[in-house]
Chain A
Amino acid sequence: MKELLRNAIGRGQKALSEFDSKRLITMAGFPVSRNDLARTREEAVAIAERLGFPVVLKGCSDTLTHKTEMGMVKLKLKTVSEVAEAYDEITGKGARLDGVLVQEWIEGDKREFVVGLTRDPQFGPCVMFGLGGIFTEALRDVSFRIAPLSEMDAEEMIDEIQTRKLLGEFRGSPAVDRAELVKALMGIGRLGLENDEIAEIDINPLIVDGDKPVAVDALVILAAPKAGAKIA
């Protein structure tokens, strides 16, 4: 984990790519969609076949923001030829990429949440949880807790959001596995507490697959070298 962070900082990166961000949060026990990085069209197809169709392809780099707006995200690809075509399209845009992320397609049930980590000058690392997806910023239905989080803290922050009813049984979908969610939130808190190299984390959206919460996108912002030194 430390190696991943230090190497990135050593290379002068300001953030981790989606692939590395997901690797990092996985190490902290956060549930993440299955994916792998392809550097050739053939690799992309092989990964897709291994994961099973449909899949999602995304351009992957630590400098890439606004992937969707740049046409770097191709959803629900059902065949080998669709994957090959999407790969060519993404790599043909001229952006500098680490590769193309091939990710399993999770249908989900439209319930989207957000999990984040920020640093406060007085309190240090804070974990955020709330309503995710496209309404995150408009509705700001989020709660915070200071790391480390006890199980009780995590439970209480989940119950604090206005839209908490979405976590129960909802329109034919089962209730979200709370234990899993609690574990994930506690993991993000520990990650922030133990790694000063991390400035912020955005996991949005966290979607619900059956009853399991799964991160389908993640971004880890790195602290400028030295800046994290004072944080306890």
Chain B
Amino acid sequence: MTDMRKIFYPESIAVVGATENLFKWGSYIFTNILAGGFGGKVYPVTKSKDTIYGHRAYGSLTGIEGPVDLVFITTPAASVMGVLADCVEKGVKQVVLITSGFSETGEEGVRLEEEMASFARANGIAVVGPNTMGIVNTAAGLYATGSQVRAPKGGISIIAQSGNVGNQIMEWAEQQNIGIGKFVGSGNEGVLGCEDYVAYFGDDPDTTVVLMYIEGVDDGRRFMEAARGAGMKKPVIALKAGRTEMGSRAAASHTGAMAGSFKTYESALRQSGVILVKAPTELLTISSAFDSMPLPKGNRVGVVTLGGGWGVITADECEERGLALPPLPDDVFKKLDSMLPPFWSRGNPVDLVGQPSIELFKESMNSMVSSEAYDAVILLGMVGAGKFVLRIHESAAHMGYYSYDKLEELRQIFDERQSNFLDNIIELMEKYDKPIYPVALISSPGDEMIHYKKGSGYKAIIYKTPEEAVFCLEKQYEYYRYRNRRTTGRQ
């Protein structure tokens, strides 16, 4: 069995083909590892220079004095067999083969890839790639992909059969401050395949959610077994590309993997407990929900809203996605009725009819979350309500009827209030082991999209729309139900 851990937690790395030419892979990888803050040793290997970016360069792997855990190869395809022979001599067991020009290019490339793979297998070398974008492990400060993305540390680990798609997902994660654990661009999967990565991420204690972008797998049954095993331990979220006939032709020509019919893939994935999504943005949205909140243990949803329209939209979305909005139980009804103005909705969704009182909203939220009648709670509008009020004052300030100093003070008050409110949501999720989905009344670019609270494993995600919140809730419930059925054997 391959020691996958050493690929992601190496103590020493060599980059074969290191160069100071900024636009070559030998530079991308080397600079990314160093600038990304990797703490271990990094050796540049090249015959053409004595130093690379000020680091002593080695003419070959075998010339390096200390041990080498992981080798990145960026030199042309024709040179790869020679470098692998050096790896054997040096005792290297882990290789990331960035080099392209293998099975993705035609017959000669297929032959070369087979030669490379059988040599690697015979010598017990685990190879990522060829034709890979590289790997990341935020926990080890290891950023070793072609693009210099710095997604923050977290638990979502990514397997991407397309480096570009994987890269884009990490870019989004960086923008939205969503924590990423590991990344691997699986490339042509000459030696290690998707199934190996999903099995490893399934066992990896630093990974909370596995995110996959798949175009095709070579051995469907092995893949299913690996995905099923991982799926019982943690959620596995996947996008299978090639939904349409045109899409699947493009996929086949892209990686050389044969893409089976979409419907079969979809069924196989679902049967293995994998949560399916249709768009790359959904991959991250859903993964982040799983990573941030406890699972709903049922499909009964309580809704608290600042306005009626949103409540109706949310109720429709829930109904269409197989979620229920049970009426308020007596105790909750009585409590709310004693507190809220007489014109409140008197039902679920609890509609505060535009009363922007944070105390009333909190009380309503507490009553719903603590009630046995609900498995999850959606909050519409309290988050971002401060911004609504702030904008009124902004307009007044523009007209000269409010001072800018006071406006700044007000901004700070609202920011703090919102931060406390989001902390409160996280505390409730911990206390009742139920997910809570706040949807913002107003959110602007640059606003916090995910709220962290020191000492808590849970996070509050600020959703932009009710439909996005319901979509996440549906997928989380789907996963809970799948796993629960298989654990208990009950329908």
A: which residues have CB within 8 A of B?
A: 118, 120-124, 126, 143-146, 152-153, 155-157, 232
Q: How far is the CA of A83 from the CA of B265 in the complex (A)?
A: 48
**Complex partner residue of A123 from B264, B486, B491, CB under 8 angstroms:** B264
Q: Please state if B267 and A143 are interface contacts (CB–CB under 8 Å).
A: yes
Chain B residues within 8 Å of A232, by CB: 221
The reply on B4 being an interface residue by CB < 8 A is: no
Q: How far is the CA of A156 from the CA of B486 in the complex (A)?
A: 12
Chain B residues within 8 Å of A156, by CB: 270-271
B175 CB to nearest chain A CB (Å): 35
Chain A residues within 8 Å of B485, by CB: 152
The reply on B218 being an interface residue by CB < 8 A is: yes
The 3 nearest A-B residue pairs measured at CB: A122-B220, A123-B220, A144-B267
Q: With contacts A144-B264, A152-B485, A155-B491 known, is A122 near B258, CB below 8 A? A: yes
B10 CB to nearest chain A CB (Å): 33
Q: Please state if A120 and B260 are interface contacts (CB–CB under 8 Å).
A: yes
B343 CB to nearest chain A CB (Å): 39
Q: Please state if B263 and A123 are interface contacts (CB–CB under 8 Å).
A: no
Q: Please state if B221 and A123 are interface contacts (CB–CB under 8 Å).
A: yes
Q: How far is the CA of A155 from the CA of B224 in the complex (A)?
A: 19
B217 CB to nearest chain A CB (Å): 6
Q: Please state if A122 and B271 are interface contacts (CB–CB under 8 Å).
A: no
Q: With contacts A146-B224, A152-B486 known, is A121 near B271, CB below 8 A? A: no
Q: With contacts A120-B220, A155-B491, A232-B221 known, is A126 near B258, CB below 8 A? A: no
Q: Please state if B486 and A146 are interface contacts (CB–CB under 8 Å).
A: no
Chain A residues within 8 Å of B88, by CB: none
B470-491 contacts to A (CB < 8 Å): 485-486, 491
Q: Please state if A122 and B486 are interface contacts (CB–CB under 8 Å).
A: no
Q: With contacts A126-B267, A146-B271, A152-B486 known, is A121 near B260, CB below 8 A? A: yes
B180 CB to nearest chain A CB (Å): 29
Chain A residues within 8 Å of B271, by CB: 145-146, 153, 156
Q: Please state if A122 and B267 are interface contacts (CB–CB under 8 Å).
A: no
Q: With contacts A143-B267, A145-B271 known, is A120 near B221, CB below 8 A? A: no
**Complex partner residue of A122 from B264, B266, B270, B491, CB under 8 angstroms:** B264
Identity of the chain B residue whose Cβ is nearest the Cβ of A140 in the assembled complex: B263
Q: Please state if B217 and A122 are interface contacts (CB–CB under 8 Å).
A: yes
Tell me how many residues of B have a C-beta within 8 Å of chain A.
21
The reply on B268 being an interface residue by CB < 8 A is: yes
Q: How far is the CA of A153 from the CA of B228 in the complex (A)?
A: 13
Q: With contacts A146-B220, A155-B491, A232-B221 known, is A120 near B486, CB below 8 A? A: no
The reply on B281 being an interface residue by CB < 8 A is: no
B159 CB to nearest chain A CB (Å): 17
**Complex partner residue of B268 from A118, A121, A146, A155, CB under 8 angstroms:** A146
Chain A residues within 8 Å of B265, by CB: 122-123
Q: Please state if A124 and B260 are interface contacts (CB–CB under 8 Å).
A: no
Q: How far is the CA of A156 from the CA of B271 in the complex (A)?
A: 9
The reply on B219 being an interface residue by CB < 8 A is: yes
The reply on B216 being an interface residue by CB < 8 A is: yes
B214 CB to nearest chain A CB (Å): 11
Specify which of A120, A121, A123 lies most central, judged by the most chain B CB atoms within 10 Å of its CB: A123
The reply on B261 being an interface residue by CB < 8 A is: yes
26 A-B pairs whose Cβ atoms sit less than 8 Å apart in the complex: A120-B220, A120-B260, A120-B261, A120-B264, A121-B258, A121-B260, A122-B216, A122-B258, A122-B260, A122-B265, A123-B221, A123-B260, A123-B265, A126-B267, A144-B264, A144-B266, A145-B271, A146-B220, A146-B264, A146-B267, A146-B271, A152-B485, A152-B486, A152-B491, A153-B271, A156-B270
Q: How far is the CA of A143 from the CA of B264 in the complex (A)?
A: 9
**Complex partner residue of B264 from A126, A152, A153, CB under 8 angstroms:** A126
Q: Please state if A123 and B258 are interface contacts (CB–CB under 8 Å).
A: no
Specify which of A120, A122, A123, A124 lies most central, judged by the most chain B CB atoms within 10 Å of its CB: A122
Identity of the chain A residue whose Cβ is nearest the Cβ of B486 in the assembled complex: A152
Chain A residues within 8 Å of B221, by CB: 123-124, 146, 232
Specify which of A121, A126, A143, A232 lies most central, judged by the most chain B CB atoms within 10 Å of its CB: A126
Chain A residues within 8 Å of B220, by CB: 120, 122-124, 146
Chain B residues within 8 Å of A144, by CB: 263-264, 266-267
A217 CB to nearest chain B CB (Å): 23
